[in-house]
Structure 1
Amino acid sequence: MEENGGGQQLVAAENGGGHDGAREATCLSMKMDDGSRESHRYYLSRRTALEMLKDRGYTIPSSEIQLSLSEFRETHGQKPDVDRLRFSATHSADPSKRVLVIFCGPGVVKVTSIRNIAGQIVNKDTLSGVLLIVENNITGQALKAINLFSFKVEIFQITDLLVNITKHVLKPKHQVLTDRQKKNLLKKFNIEEKQLPRMLQSDAIARYYGLQRGQVVKVTFSSGEITQLHVTYRCVW
């Protein structure tokens, strides 16, 4: 679904606005400063995780996001303890939704690691999801153990969070539509959900916003080379 200029038309579109996040993340992680590379990586990934949850509607204090690298190091040191980095957040519109962010160490994540994490989680009944930030591979047995949890577990590599992809200069603006907005969109163009261009759940933007199948995203492209905005809609598949 696209809107371009004064007219509107339904067309098939592929997911655009790609980014070279891995290369940029590597550059950032290797950036030289007065402190350790380790603390810098944890600082960047933690900040992105905070921004990500705020964009999902969770209550995140601005002071946490605006924390400087030096302030982070004053609190956590040059070799941060991953257990002290974990934090939880409650959804602003639905207080029953609580998510926990857990950082894993640099080693391979094994089934014993998952069992240890499960044993440390308190108030599991009030938990709706966990974001697991890892630095290494996860064994097959560990993945099976994660699937046994009663809540949703999202796994991110720390290198994926060194840069907030939604702030990338080449990335178009994404807006997640509400159910009502989606209904109005389909009615406006007299189409069905399956006729919308698709975005895979594995897409970086879909993962950032934690999107589920059937949700629709409005994508707005802007460029100095054109005079008008270009808008398209994609349905998560």
Structure 2
Amino acid sequence: MCCATPNPFDEMEAEMEAEMAETESGEGSAVPECLSSFVDRGSVESHRYFLARRTLLEMIRDRGFPVPDDELALTLPSFRSKFGDKPKLDDLRISLSIPCKGSPPKKITELLVNITKHVLMPKHELLTTDEKQDLLKKYNVGESQFPRMLESDPVSRYHGLKKGQIVKVTYEGELTGSHVTYRCVL
């Protein structure tokens, strides 16, 4: 071999061995600095309440009610500084006047993830009464002839849909492009 080029992996390996030696000798920190910034030092309870509150505010906004942008943009550290590491339920209460026939779900687990933000979830739009009538006339069909969506469907519950309402579902795909279907809530 006439000439040898330095291998950058040898240098990285030497640096890692030096860091390991420092950690074992007690001179370095137990968790490298680059990873310690990702460690969540708060309670699991406050993190769950943060996720549930954010999903609830997004759901309220998606139903057409005004929600301040600063409430939606609240980060987990800001949430903990505002409500504490072990928030009280009374402090998290959101007051909103909405005419409602049923009782809201009491399960926080349903609110941990906003299902409408999932990558595979198609876009759902509720049709107005006029749009519904135009659609029925355009295709000359009745409500019972549309594909069905149960009132207990997670997306239906998220949007607060009732029986007889029609939803426009828009699918986006690489092969099919944009595809629109309609579903009637039962």
Band the TM-score falls in, shorter-chain normalisation: 0.7 to 0.9
Whether 1:57 and 2:93 are equivalent positions in the alignment is: no
Map 1:187-226; keep pairs closer than 5 Å: 187-224=137-174, 226=175
Moved over 6 A (4+): none
Higher helix share: 2
The count of corresponding residues between Structure 1 and Structure 2 is 149
Q: Percent identity?
A: 54
Higher strand share: 1
TM-score (norm 2): 0.76
Q: Matched residues in 2 for 1:228 and 1:70: separation?
A: 40
Matching residue of 2:119? 169
TM-score (norm 1): 0.60
User: Of the two structures, which has the highest relative contact order with CA contacts closer than 8 Å and spacing of 6 or more?
Assistant: 1
Q: Give 1 or 2 for the bigger CA radius of gyration.
A: 2
Matching residue of 2:18? none
Matching residue of 2:102? 152
Q: Matched residues in 2 for 1:193 and 1:227: separation?
A: 26
Matching residue of 1:73? 80
Matching residue of 1:186? 136
Q: Give the drift of 1:154.
A: 2.0
Matching residue of 1:39? 46
Structure 1 gaps, min length 5: 1-30, 90-97, 100-127, 130-150
From 156, 170, 180, the equivalent of 1:231 is 180
Q: Matched residues in 2 for 1:169 and 1:57: separation?
A: 22
Query: What CA RMSD, in Å, does the superposition of the two structures yield over aligned residues?
Result: 1.5
Q: Matched residues in 2 for 1:206 and 1:168: separation?
A: 15
| Residues 158-182 of structure 1 deviation map (CA, whole Å, 9 limit, x = unaligned) | 1111111000001111111111111
Give, as a single letter, the amino acid of the residue that structure 2 aligns with 1:229. Answer: S
Structure 2 gaps, min length 5: 1-37
Please state whether the residue corresponding to 1:222 is helix, strand or coil: strand
Q: Give the drift of 1:227.
A: 4.4
